[in-house]
Amino acid sequence: MTKQEERGRLLTLVVACGLLLPNLLFVVVRLLGNDPWSSGYMMFPLAINVAISWCLFRGYNWARWYVVITTPIACAYLVVKVMSQQGVSGLVVISPFIVLYGALVMTLWRSSSVSAYFERETPERKTMLSLKD
Protein backbone atom coordinates (compact mmCIF):
# COMPACT_ATOMS: atom_id res chain seq x y z
CA MET A 1 0.00 0.00 0.00
CA THR A 2 1.42 3.38 -0.96
CA LYS A 3 1.73 6.33 1.39
CA GLN A 4 -1.26 8.06 -0.23
CA GLU A 5 -3.40 4.92 0.07
CA GLU A 6 -2.46 4.61 3.75
CA ARG A 7 -3.48 8.22 4.30
CA GLY A 8 -6.75 7.51 2.46
CA ARG A 9 -7.38 4.50 4.68
CA LEU A 10 -6.82 6.63 7.78
CA LEU A 11 -9.17 9.33 6.48
CA THR A 12 -11.76 6.67 5.68
CA LEU A 13 -11.46 5.33 9.23
CA VAL A 14 -12.03 8.86 10.58
CA VAL A 15 -15.09 9.25 8.35
CA ALA A 16 -16.49 5.88 9.43
CA CYS A 17 -16.04 6.81 13.11
CA GLY A 18 -17.57 10.23 12.46
CA LEU A 19 -20.65 8.57 11.00
CA LEU A 20 -21.04 6.33 14.04
CA LEU A 21 -20.33 8.85 16.79
CA PRO A 22 -23.65 10.81 16.78
CA ASN A 23 -25.72 7.60 16.75
CA LEU A 24 -23.70 6.05 19.56
CA LEU A 25 -23.99 9.23 21.64
CA PHE A 26 -27.73 9.37 21.07
CA VAL A 27 -28.21 5.75 22.16
CA VAL A 28 -26.05 6.25 25.27
CA VAL A 29 -27.95 9.42 26.23
CA ARG A 30 -31.25 7.60 25.78
CA LEU A 31 -30.05 4.62 27.83
CA LEU A 32 -28.90 6.89 30.65
CA GLY A 33 -32.06 8.99 30.51
CA ASN A 34 -35.42 8.55 32.17
CA ASP A 35 -36.81 5.97 29.76
CA PRO A 36 -34.04 3.56 28.72
CA TRP A 37 -36.43 1.25 26.87
CA SER A 38 -37.29 3.96 24.35
CA SER A 39 -33.79 3.65 22.87
CA GLY A 40 -34.59 0.18 21.53
CA TYR A 41 -35.88 1.55 18.24
CA MET A 42 -32.47 3.17 17.67
CA MET A 43 -30.64 -0.17 17.59
CA PHE A 44 -31.67 -1.00 14.01
CA PRO A 45 -30.36 2.26 12.49
CA LEU A 46 -27.24 1.89 14.63
CA ALA A 47 -26.69 -1.62 13.25
CA ILE A 48 -27.08 -0.31 9.70
CA ASN A 49 -24.56 2.47 10.38
CA VAL A 50 -22.10 -0.02 11.86
CA ALA A 51 -22.40 -2.24 8.78
CA ILE A 52 -22.02 0.68 6.34
CA SER A 53 -19.07 2.08 8.28
CA TRP A 54 -17.39 -1.32 8.26
CA CYS A 55 -17.91 -1.67 4.48
CA LEU A 56 -16.63 1.87 4.02
CA PHE A 57 -13.47 1.13 5.98
CA ARG A 58 -12.95 -2.10 4.04
CA GLY A 59 -12.89 -0.03 0.85
CA TYR A 60 -16.09 -0.95 -0.94
CA ASN A 61 -16.77 1.77 -3.48
CA TRP A 62 -20.55 1.29 -3.31
CA ALA A 63 -20.44 2.12 0.42
CA ARG A 64 -18.54 5.32 -0.35
CA TRP A 65 -21.16 6.48 -2.84
CA TYR A 66 -24.00 5.36 -0.59
CA VAL A 67 -22.70 7.65 2.15
CA VAL A 68 -22.02 10.52 -0.26
CA ILE A 69 -25.56 10.37 -1.68
CA THR A 70 -27.67 9.53 1.36
CA THR A 71 -26.04 11.69 4.02
CA PRO A 72 -27.05 15.06 2.46
CA ILE A 73 -30.57 13.71 1.95
CA ALA A 74 -30.78 12.65 5.60
CA CYS A 75 -29.39 16.02 6.74
CA ALA A 76 -31.94 17.92 4.66
CA TYR A 77 -34.74 15.79 6.13
CA LEU A 78 -33.42 16.39 9.64
CA VAL A 79 -33.28 20.17 9.12
CA VAL A 80 -36.84 20.28 7.77
CA LYS A 81 -38.14 18.08 10.60
CA VAL A 82 -36.40 20.07 13.35
CA MET A 83 -37.42 23.44 11.87
CA SER A 84 -41.06 22.36 11.65
CA GLN A 85 -41.12 21.09 15.24
CA GLN A 86 -38.75 23.35 17.18
CA GLY A 87 -37.90 26.29 14.99
CA VAL A 88 -34.56 28.05 15.02
CA SER A 89 -33.63 26.90 18.53
CA GLY A 90 -33.66 23.28 17.37
CA LEU A 91 -31.55 24.17 14.36
CA VAL A 92 -28.89 25.62 16.66
CA VAL A 93 -28.69 22.29 18.48
CA ILE A 94 -28.28 20.13 15.35
CA SER A 95 -26.04 22.49 13.37
CA PRO A 96 -22.76 20.96 14.67
CA PHE A 97 -23.90 17.56 13.42
CA ILE A 98 -24.85 19.00 10.04
CA VAL A 99 -21.40 20.59 9.74
CA LEU A 100 -19.75 17.31 10.79
CA TYR A 101 -21.68 15.29 8.23
CA GLY A 102 -20.92 17.87 5.53
CA ALA A 103 -17.19 17.68 6.27
CA LEU A 104 -17.30 13.88 6.19
CA VAL A 105 -19.09 13.81 2.85
CA MET A 106 -16.69 16.33 1.33
CA THR A 107 -13.74 14.28 2.57
CA LEU A 108 -15.10 11.14 0.94
CA TRP A 109 -15.99 12.92 -2.27
CA ARG A 110 -13.05 15.27 -2.87
CA SER A 111 -9.95 13.78 -1.17
CA SER A 112 -7.36 12.38 -3.57
CA SER A 113 -6.00 10.12 -0.81
CA VAL A 114 -9.42 8.59 -0.21
CA SER A 115 -9.84 8.13 -3.97
CA ALA A 116 -6.48 6.37 -4.14
CA TYR A 117 -7.50 4.06 -1.30
CA PHE A 118 -10.80 3.17 -2.98
CA GLU A 119 -9.16 2.67 -6.39
CA ARG A 120 -6.69 0.13 -5.00
CA GLU A 121 -7.32 -3.18 -6.73
CA THR A 122 -7.95 -6.27 -4.64
CA PRO A 123 -9.86 -9.36 -5.76
CA GLU A 124 -12.26 -9.13 -2.81
CA ARG A 125 -13.44 -5.65 -3.78
CA LYS A 126 -14.76 -6.88 -7.12
CA THR A 127 -17.59 -8.63 -5.30
CA MET A 128 -20.49 -6.91 -3.61
CA LEU A 129 -19.44 -7.88 -0.10
CA SER A 130 -16.62 -10.08 1.12
CA LEU A 131 -15.82 -11.23 4.63
CA LYS A 132 -12.40 -12.62 3.63
CA ASP A 133 -10.36 -9.40 3.65
Helix (H, G, I), strand (E, B) or coil at 50: helix
Beta carbons within 10 angstroms of residue 108's beta carbon: 23
- With respect to residue 132, please indicate whether it lies within any of the assigned structural domains: no
pLDDT, tens digit, 9 for 90 and up, residues 24-72: 888 887 778 766 666 567 778 888 999 999 999 888 888 999 999 999 9
pTM: 0.81
Give the mean pLDDT of 14-26: 89
Residue 22 included in any domain? yes
Q: 54: domain range? A: 3-122
| Integer Cα distance of 64 and 14 in angstroms | 13
59 in any annotated domain: yes
Q: For residue 127, is it within any domain?
A: no
Into how many domains does the chain fold? 1
